[in-house]
Amino acid sequence: MGGAVSAGEDNDELIDNLKEAQYIRTDLVEQAFRAIDRADYYLEEFKENAYKDLAWKHGNIHLSAPCIYSEVMEALDLQPGLSFLNLGSGTGYLSSMVGLILGPFGVNHGVELHSDVTEYAKQKLDVFIRTSDSFDKFDFCEPSFVTGNCLEIAPDCCQYDRVYCGAGVQKEHEEYMKNLLKVGGILVMPLEEKLTKITRIGPSAWETKKILAVSFAPLVQPCRSESGQPRLVQLPPLAVRSLQDLARLAIRGSIKRAMRQEATRGGGLKSTPMFKRRRLRRRRMETIVFLDKEVFASRISNPSDDTSYEDAEEDRREVAERTLREAKPEPPVNFLRQRVLRLPLPDPLKYYLLYYREK
């Protein structure tokens, strides 16, 4: 699946293309996609394909096409504080983007069939938390991953506000999936070759909407254990945050609010722009005129169309700016980190406030 939009040179350009094609339609989803670089979830030798709108698979590791993830994120209608269950959580790329929207008081669980992929996702999550500046720009709901078959979830598990299944669901498992939802919840899954959104509007009432045609590998059917009993999957428990952790969230939140107020008053928080500015250029149009079975190819000229001088000047400016940027790269500034390190606190407490993250 994929190929709906042009490839990008980097993550931002890929998101620009998804926005232009109307796969990304809301600010929350756009911010989450820009905050996490898709290439970070690829193996090193395959990263040149990360910004193409194509699915990628290597062994058990799999990523859906960006256009599919965009439609899924939009259909889930995510909000801070909701609970989310990702069935077939894979690399953790989608779960991490969801976590940026859910915030610190949401619930973010994933079930993955293959243990090696679960370990891969945990490694990628650890790298994101330790090294990505996006972790400090958002209040993050950290995903928790377990290994098992998502068709064998323990019957006494809690229900969720949002559920996504990343494999083709057979018709006989539709009711099973629906029962994972709370009333008012949304389930997105491939059902009968269509990406489908199901909203639970009552204890036994549902609304169904077909989003687009897709092709997903089907869910793997459960294998019975030697005793003949199903291997029940126990989902992570709903954790209660400690008072110490709540204090950390409150302090970081207060610092961020102060920084936003300073920026509003013109306090000078300057950083690299979050969104890339796309360069637009007029193109000359060639006109073919048909006249009495004879064809005359000509260009209908217009004085306002002659922009060759402007284009040349713009090219020169762009080359000069690019040369300057390459000569003096400006790394993004993590203002939150700077503020925390300036606090009159013991170093161990500062590092705790920073989640012991690397610079």
Does residue 56 form part of some domain? no
Query: Does the annotation mark 64 as catalytic?
Result: yes
Region 191-212 average pLDDT: 96
118 within domain boundaries: yes
Burial of 5 (C-beta count, 10 Å sphere; 0-12/13-18/19+): buried
> How far apart are alpha carbons 149 and 114 in whole angstroms?
9
Q: Per DSSP, what are the bridge partners of residue 186?
A: 162, 199
Whether 86 and 226 map to the same domain: the answer is yes
**Amino acid present at 183:** V
How many other C-beta atoms lie within 10 A of the C-beta of residue 242?
9
What's 188's domain CATH number? 3.40.50.150
- Domain count across the chain: 2
Alpha carbon 9 to its chain centroid, in Å, reads: 18
Q: Is the pLDDT of residue 245 over 80?
A: yes
Return the pLDDT at 58. 96
Q: Is the pLDDT of residue 331 over 80?
A: no
Q: Do 177 and 120 have their domain in common?
A: yes
What size, in residues, is the chain? 359
- Residue 222 DSSP class: P
The mean pLDDT of 235-251, rounded to a whole number, is 91
Tokens standing for 141? 């709901």
For residue 293, what pLDDT band results from cuts at 50, 70 and 90? very low
Contact by Cβ (8 Å): 37, 96: no
| CA 15, chain centre distance (Å) | 10
Range of the domain at 246: 242-266+335-358
**C-beta atoms surrounding 308 within 10 Å:** 9
The pTM (predicted TM-score) of the whole model is: 0.80
Catalytic option among 6, 64, 95, 144:
64
Average pLDDT, the chain: 86
Residue 302 lies in a domain: no
Residue 4 has pLDDT above 70, yes or no: no
Domain presence at residue 138:
yes
Work out the average pLDDT over 276-292: 46
Residues 247 and 130 occupy one common structural domain: no
**What pLDDT does 296 receive?**
46
142 within a domain of the structure (yes/no) = yes
Question: Do 101 and 179 reside in the same domain of the chain?
Answer: yes
